[in-house]
Amino acid sequence: ATPRFLHARVAALGSAFVLVLCDDQTEARRVDAVRRDFIANVSHELKTPIGAVALLAEAVTDFADDPEAVARFGQKMQRESTRLTQLVKEIIDLSRVQDHEVPASPERVPVARVVEEAVDRARTVADGKHIELSALHGGDWYIEGSFELLVNAVRNLVDNAIHYSNEGTRVGVGAKLEDERVAIAVTDQGIGLSTEDTERVFERFYRVDPARSRMTGGTGLGLSIVKHIVATHGGEVRVWSRLGQGSTFTILLPQAHADDITPGLAEAAR
Ligand code: ADP
């Protein structure tokens, strides 16, 4: 190569490098903005229950000689602390999955067990609302990843289906194969979502009706957690919904074939 040609190559490489650097900087700034936004949201969300607990504590002191009032305020304080605990737990869950804290050694997870376990854990809440919760899982399919995280994702969808439905309705969880991917769908006959809201529900802290969500113990983080868990497993979440007609949230995940499994794990899974 002539020196001139080399010079041109070096210059081209240099500008590509600068471009990459710029791209990195834009990305770093974006990540930074997202983080700042998240911290602002978290502080705001934590302030409400903490403020409530402080006010209630004051009220308890003021009404110290009225046992009925003390009991009432005490119960409210308990409710607010439960909410705080839930919020903190979900914030930790979310930051773990956001940082791609995937298990170092993924397991070969049977889809049927994920569905069964998620439904089992949600059973008491469903019964309390007289919601008929049923599970249907057809085949002997596997996903490579974390059993606990996958159950957490499906459980979040089932909990939402129950929370955003009226008493006496039905919630179904089903699994099937769709274009070589495992599809786990959670269907309800609940309040449904507008098209606009279906596009936003996966955003952190987004709630269609904050008052209703708060009443049912919602934090607005559940679906972000689902989205991240599913992304960590190489999949995606889809939603179909109509206002007043119910919703179907579907998790699509790559199916693990026996020979896809990380060496050693297939053995362990048997
Ligand atoms: P939350 O803790 O408030 O339930 P999520 O992130 O799980 O937060 O859900 C975000 C919002 O999406 C909820 O506040 C609710 O308005 C809406 N949503 C989620 N699942 C359903 C559903 N099955 N039916 C109707 N609305 C839903």
pLDDT of 238 > 90? The answer is yes
pTM of the model: 0.78
Mean pLDDT of the chain: 85
Residues 59, 74: Cα–Cα separation, whole Å? 10
pLDDT given at position 22: 67
Ligand 1 site, residue 42, Cβ cutoff 6 A:
no
- CA–centroid distance, residue 268 to ligand 1 (Å): 37
d(CA 62, CA 65): 8
What residue owns the CA closest to ligand 1's atom 4? Answer: 218
Q: Please enumerate in sequence order all residues whose Cβ is within 8 A of that of 116, keeping only pairs 6 or more positions apart, or say none.
A: 135, 137
201 touches ligand 1 (CB under 6 Å): yes
How many whole angstroms separate alpha carbon 131 and alpha carbon 161? 10
Residues in Cβ contact with 228 at an 8 Å cutoff, skipping those fewer than 6 apart? 94, 97, 98
Q: What is the ipTM of this complex?
A: 0.98
Q: What is the pLDDT of residues 75-105, one digit of tens each?
A: 999 988 988 898 888 888 888 887 765 666 7
Pocket test for ligand 1, best of 83, 201, 209, 238 (most atoms within 8 A of CB): 201
- Alpha-carbon distance 181 to 192, whole Å? 26
Beta-sheet strands, E only, within the chain: 107-110, 132-137, 142-145, 170-178, 181-188, 236-242, 246-254
Query: Is it the case that residue 191 has pLDDT exceeding 50?
Result: yes
- Please, which residues bridge with residue 187 across strands? 172, 248
Q: What would the pLDDT profile of 124-166 be if each residue is shown by its tens digit?
A: 999 999 999 999 877 889 999 999 899 999 999 999 999 999 9
Residue 160 CA, ligand 1 centroid: distance in Å: 6
Q: Is the pLDDT of residue 122 over 80?
A: yes
Q: Which residues contact 226 (CB under 8 A, 6 or more apart)?
A: 153, 156, 157, 202, 237, 249, 251
